[in-house]
Structure 1
């Protein structure tokens, strides 16, 4: 496989990639006007779009906010108690594929226990009385065994597949060796039913010593997940250490290498594992060195952004930009950095049903921003 990498830190420069890369000229960029929908959000993590209008936004400290089309905020009651330390808290939120009839939402969160905190999945129904919203029949339907002390590397993103199964990404909790243990959910991608059970046909179903929910292993801290609308495949993006952030297309039963192989180094500067390759371990589609700290991703399929059609957008926390990745099938052939002028950490990026793109900024005065062509 020809692995491509980002290899410059210039926010204005077009990136040269390894192999037969294509330069993406600046003139190809659709101009966008960042329009603030609302601000004053406390470290927002994820946004979902309600069909009747308005937005659901998670805040890491445990609040779920309803944001009206005019930008007014109110707290949605009925959320689970979260372990809000470090990277932990209330994380992803997605609507059920049948939301218009079942009013069901799913959220991931870090849940405390005497054995430490881990990543859990919460399901509830959204009810409303005018502008007042609440969650009803809330239930934690899945508890991962990636429990550990401290607040590092919970993941986690959710993505519904075309067949209705639910992918859920989990971090290694700062204990990388656990990502190579298939009896652990730690550092893995899971494939679940809408009830939180192992999805039929999972690769390790019925195998002793393997968790039946697991789809793939060997991940570090994937905080991005989305279904490619052309192929129906799951794509993920995960944090490396000091470099080595990765884009992957996780396949059933495959091992993505962490911490045995990596294109990054430890924060101390030391070598990670055995190097960059090993038989039986998958190569990333793309990687960044130095790290951009990626979080949130979306495939562009909206006619509102004709020059970005089919591209992949990835938020950058450390990099403080929106990365636009040009695709050729399952390969990434060029990259451009957008929104660097905001000087903001980008936590999430989504395309709404009306075709507009949105980003969330990660701060104690976080913003929900609409990208207006």
Structure 2
């Protein structure tokens, strides 16, 4: 009995110090690198978004409504105080997080969440800004609130990306039940919007002089965007979105462009059945799409030297297949090669760290931050 208890204790210790109990290998031999997988921290409840602070610590959201700071050694803070009311329902909750481009001067952060209507089950994606302090948030301000609010817990989006002019892109979903709204400019269903850090509308937004469109809209015809990042050379906003059954897409989200949902898609209804065409005049074709769906979430361009052969590659998380998907791109932005790297957990977010490592958030009740580095660094 004593020996069995000792073995059990040793096994539990191994679980806490490695990815073994989460079915994640400690080492992965990929096409271009032998990868060591380290568990930075565990015990996160369905983590959704993360961002790095200038001092190397991480801000991490849990969809259940908690925001924490995690240091490089994996030490987690207590949940920070000062968050607004959040409706945690199905896919809704506390979602993405990013820091102000001038964070070192103003200590301001931005986060997206499902904002409820008091006394009802209605909600929509909202974005708030606040000052980050050691114990919590202050000067909270909701700078964007999608409309209309409806009673459904699906397809909130939402990723937050600052452009080079200092405006904030917010990606949104069609809320599941409002797919045709993605084609209409009088609601926020299925849109990318662009606002200033205080919530005002940039003067160069495309619909500022159109009284039939919401002036914060940038692009439309999207289904549910859960990955967004700026191209490191061009500054263009790259996005990916969930298709239905098949038809996950990668796009460059350009002003006024219509990306087709639900009029065009390479997917079909769940259980079978056509939704629309695959091509239609005036609607954009994806740069790349997946059939069957990989359920993408999180995305970044890799620009560091740690994985030298990955420079310029696009890294995408897969929830469905529990993978990190590495995409090589040609001069015309087309995908020339795809590699699937098995992680063994649902990958919710993908980030490049200041140390050049690749960091992954895993979407589980006992979610983790994983750090990927070369097994034999130069």
TM-score normalised to structure 1 length: 0.89
The CA deviation at 1:147 is 2.0
Task: Work out whether residues 142 and 197 of structure 1, in 8 Å CA contact, stay in contact via their aligned partners in 2.
Answer: no
Matched, 1:183 2:164: no
Superposed structure 1 runs of 4+ greater than 2 Å apart = none
Moved more, 75-84 or 249-258: 75-84
In structure 2, how many angstroms separate the alpha carbons of the residues matched to 1:223 and 1:27?
Answer: 25
Equivalent positions of 1:199-238 (< 5 A) are 199-238=202-241
> What is the aligned residue count?
341
Aligned to 2:344: 343
Task: Work out whether residues 247 and 287 of structure 1, in 8 Å CA contact, stay in contact via their aligned partners in 2.
Answer: yes
Q: CA RMSD in A?
A: 1.2
Aligned to 1:120: 126
In structure 2, how many angstroms separate the alpha carbons of the residues matched to 1:284 and 1:252?
Answer: 15
- 2:100 counterpart (80, 90, 96): 96
SS in 1 for 2:309: helix
Matched, 1:256 2:259: yes
Equivalent positions of 1:73-92 (< 5 A) are 73-74=76-77, 75-92=79-96
Task: Work out whether residues 156 and 223 of structure 1, in 8 Å CA contact, stay in contact via their aligned partners in 2.
Answer: yes
Aligned to 2:164: 162
In structure 1, how many angstroms separate the alpha carbons of the residues matched to 2:30 and 2:221?
Answer: 39
Output one character per residue of 1:113-169: Cα deviation in whole Å (capped at 9) or x when no partner. Answer: 1482100011001112xxxx3111111111110422121000000111111111110
Task: Work out whether residues 30 and 306 of structure 1, in 8 Å CA contact, stay in contact via their aligned partners in 2.
Answer: no
The CA deviation at 1:268 is 2.5
Q: CA 1:146–1:289 in structure 2 vs 1: closer, same or farther (change >3 Å)? A: farther
Matched, 1:38 2:44: no
Output one character per residue of 1:231-252: Cα deviation in whole Å (capped at 9) or x when no partner. Answer: 1100000000000000000111
Task: Work out whether residues 119 and 146 of structure 1, in 8 Å CA contact, stay in contact via their aligned partners in 2.
Answer: no
SS in 2 for 1:261: coil
Aligned to 2:197: 194
Matched, 1:363 2:364: yes
Task: Work out whether residues 294 and 317 of structure 1, in 8 Å CA contact, stay in contact via their aligned partners in 2.
Answer: yes
Output one character per residue of 1:171-209: Cα deviation in whole Å (capped at 9) or x when no partner. Answer: 000110010110111100011111112222111112011
Aligned to 2:302: 300
Matched, 1:106 2:107: no
Matched, 1:239 2:242: yes
Output one character per residue of 1:33-81: Cα deviation in whole Å (capped at 9) or x when no partner. Answer: 1110000100000111111232110000110011122212121111121
Alignment gaps of 5+ in structure 2: 1-28
Moved more, 349-358 or 218-227: 349-358
SS in 2 for 1:73: coil
SS in 1 for 2:133: strand
Aligned to 1:311: 313
Alignment gaps of 5+ in structure 1: 1-25
Task: Work out whether residues 147 and 173 of structure 1, in 8 Å CA contact, stay in contact via their aligned partners in 2.
Answer: no
Task: Work out whether residues 307 and 373 of structure 2, in 8 Å CA contact, stay in contact via their aligned partners in 1.
Answer: no
| The structure with more radius of gyration | 2
Equivalent positions of 1:146-161 (< 5 A) are 146-161=148-163
Output one character per residue of 1:256-309: Cα deviation in whole Å (capped at 9) or x when no partner. Answer: 000011000010301012x10110111000000000000000100001110100
Moved more, 191-200 or 281-290: 191-200
In structure 1, how many angstroms separate the alpha carbons of the residues matched to 2:246 and 2:30?
Answer: 29
The CA deviation at 1:28 is 4.6
The CA deviation at 1:228 is 0.5
SS in 2 for 1:198: coil
In structure 2, how many angstroms separate the alpha carbons of the residues matched to 1:169 and 1:296?
Answer: 12
Output one character per residue of 1:78-108: Cα deviation in whole Å (capped at 9) or x when no partner. Answer: 1121110011000000011111111000000
The CA deviation at 1:29 is 1.5
SS in 1 for 2:34: coil
